[in-house]
Structure 1
Amino acid sequence: MSAVVAGASAPVTGATRRPRGGLFRAILRNRKAVVGAALLLLFILLAAFPGLFVPGAHHDPQAIGDLPLQHPSGSHWLGTTGLGQDVYAQLIYSTRESLVIAVVAGLGATVLSVVIGVSAAYLGGFADDGLSMLTDIFLVLPTFPLIIVLATYAGKGNLTVIIIVLILTGWSYGARQMRAQAMSLRNRDFLESARVRGERRSYIIVVEVLPTMISLIVANFLGAALYSVLTAAGLQFLGLGDPNSLSWGTMLYWAQNQGALVNGLPAWALSPGLAVALLGVSFALLNYAFDEISNPALRPVRRRRARTAS
């Protein structure tokens, strides 16, 4: 009889063990996550060490040269601007500002979404009504015209102002998702236990609620970063950024003003646009991958290979 009990208890013990590195393995098994992470890592390296990817003769991307509007060649891989500046060097050095905008604005919008959305769901009552009304107002506002107005009158060309504007206009959708998720958790047993123990509201929100929403918070950050990259590039392309700064949107602005396509220099106009698109693709792929990892219902069904009879 004791042998039967021992044998029955063995599978239970093994089943309760959690494999280490489960999230890391899930990311490696997801093709979207691998491709998105590889692209993002490449941009991080370009932003952190731009000098390693630029020939020594072009380490100053703002240096005015003697050969304006040159076609791509061995000395200028993507040609030169109207002032003789190397386009490839500007493309590499512009990665830093574009990535900073994406990360800082995305992080700020995510923090604001979490604070407003989770607080509204957990507090309830008048606080929920007021915060939900504020979220609905920002959701129905025409975002891009509002961004143009704020960026123009609050401080044209100021990078800090652009980031603040992106945060203020990019938090509402995430806050609605956070509120819906927190509402589904508000009456769970572990939260009721925390209330019975007499824990403070701030402790319950930070320690009990937020850890269960990590996947949604990460997905919200990636979506906000994608929004920030595309919107900031659009603002700078319209001339609402600092024309003397190094960013992909500013490169597009000068390529249009100096007639890159008219002068037969498509690489000058297309390369920053392609960089913006690839950075956006990296955030989008990581977003889709985290959705699939956190929600098994969204994972693609893989056909099993039929085993051939021996």
Structure 2
Amino acid sequence: MSQFLTNGKVRIGLAVFGAFLLIALIGSWLVSSVLGTDPHRIDYDALGAAPGGEHLLGTTTSGQDVLAQLITGCRGSVAVGLLSGVLAVGVAALVGVTGGFIGGRTDQMLTAVTNIFATLPSFPLMLIVAGYMANVGPVAIALLIGLFEWPVCARYLRAQTLSLRGRDFVQALRMVGESRWRMVLVEIMPHLTGILSSLFLRAVVTGVFTEAGLRFLGIGGGDSVTWGTMIAFAQQQEGVVRGMWWWFAPPGLFIALLGTATALVNFGLDEIGNPVLRHSSRAAVRRATAHMAARRDRTNTVEVAS
């Protein structure tokens, strides 16, 4: 844990990710109490207004405050990412770890199911399924994403479980008659914590990106506000053509920042878990420090000589 928290990439990534979580939790209060508005309120005196005055990030073509939508949309986008990530990694852990540890026909059957889902064109299928649904809210979008994105995670977990089940400590537990589920939950799962964290963060970002893509293509809508719906409405109402960057650029930037934050945490986890990366990173820091010290010494020598 100390290595995890002292890693620079991890701290930056967690800080950004934590900021988005905080905005998602208190966003509605900020919009109503601080801004004194709501994402659906229409200001007929400021239709398509540029940033400034009462609307710090301008308004949409319908007169809705963009900053209020940006803050409120954080909850919807982050909720979709978290829910889809939990579902995808949960199903992947159930299928991958069970098949990898039990083996035999169970593993063959679960691997076949995983391969079938992995070969399906997930995004087009999500479009088709969502098109037949009456109400496609954030929860429905998250469930669709989670149900179609778990096979890749399951393959990673199965491979790691196959490696772990042949270790000496697992064989020793089998010899003393330890139950399978206790070995999985108490011995195998703790060794998979790092890869589970990495897969979960990746699934969260995939969920946010996929939700934005589905919204951009016209899936859902209604009263729900997410970063994806902001970009979709900006495109549908010609905000891009009119050059209303304050409408579509901020949600796109926030999506990119969320992806960068999770990538930084994953890079930090790789450095902590991989000795080669950890030592190379430390060596790079030492080389940079030595270079700066040598440059400083040369500068001081020149100043003394002059």
Whether TM-score is above 0.5 comes out as: yes
* Corresponding position: 1:292 with 2:263: no
Which contiguous aligned blocks of 4+ residues in structure 1 show a shift greater than 6 angstroms?
A: none
* Corresponding position: 1:75 with 2:54: yes
Selected match of 1:203 from 164, 178, 182: 182
Q: Is the 8 A contact 1:76 1:86 kept in 2?
A: yes
Unaligned runs of 5+ in 2: 298-306
Moved more, 71-80 or 191-200: 191-200
Q: Is the 8 A contact 1:243 1:250 kept in 2?
A: no
* Corresponding position: 1:160 with 2:142: no
1:238 matched residue in structure 2 = 217
2:18 matched residue in structure 1 = 41
* Corresponding position: 1:27 with 2:4: yes
TM-superposed CA distance for 1:96, in Å, is 0.6
TM-superposed CA distance for 1:258, in Å, is 1.4
Moved more, 255-264 or 108-117: 255-264
Unaligned runs of 5+ in 1: 1-22
Whole-angstrom distance in 2 between the partners of 1:176 and 1:54: 45
C-alpha offsets along residues 83-103 of structure 1, whole Å, 9 cap, x if unaligned?
Answer: 211101110111111111111
Identity %: 38
Moved more, 88-97 or 191-200: 191-200
Q: Is the 8 A contact 2:216 2:231 kept in 1?
A: yes
Whole-angstrom distance in 2 between the partners of 1:39 and 1:102: 15
RMSD between superposed Cα atoms in Å: 1.9
The one-letter code of the counterpart of 2:4 is I
1:62 matched residue in structure 2 = 40
C-alpha offsets along residues 44-91 of structure 1, whole Å, 9 cap, x if unaligned?
Answer: 111111233777454312111122111111211111112211101110
Q: Is the 8 A contact 1:156 1:240 kept in 2?
A: no
The one-letter code of the counterpart of 2:30 is L
TM-superposed CA distance for 1:221, in Å, is 0.5
Whole-angstrom distance in 2 between the partners of 1:213 and 1:70: 51
Per the alignment, in what secondary structure is the counterpart of residue 228 of structure 1?
helix
Whole-angstrom distance in 2 between the partners of 1:80 and 1:213: 47
TM-superposed CA distance for 1:205, in Å, is 0.7
C-alpha offsets along residues 165-202 of structure 1, whole Å, 9 cap, x if unaligned?
Answer: 11111111111010110111112121122222222211
The one-letter code of the counterpart of 2:18 is L
Q: TM-score, normalised by structure 1?
A: 0.86
The one-letter code of the counterpart of 1:232 is E
Q: Is the 8 A contact 2:83 2:143 kept in 1?
A: no
Q: Is the 8 A contact 1:226 1:283 kept in 2?
A: yes
Q: TM-score, normalised by structure 2?
A: 0.88
Per the alignment, in what secondary structure is the counterpart of residue 272 of structure 1?
helix
Q: Is the 8 A contact 1:71 1:80 kept in 2?
A: yes
- Say which structure is richer in helix: 2
Whole-angstrom distance in 1 between the partners of 2:37 and 2:22: 16
* Corresponding position: 1:248 with 2:248: no
Question: What is the 5 A alignment of 1:1-310?
Answer: 23-24=1-2, 26-50=3-27, 51-52=29-30, 56-66=34-44, 67-299=46-278, 300=281, 301-304=283-286, 305-306=289-290
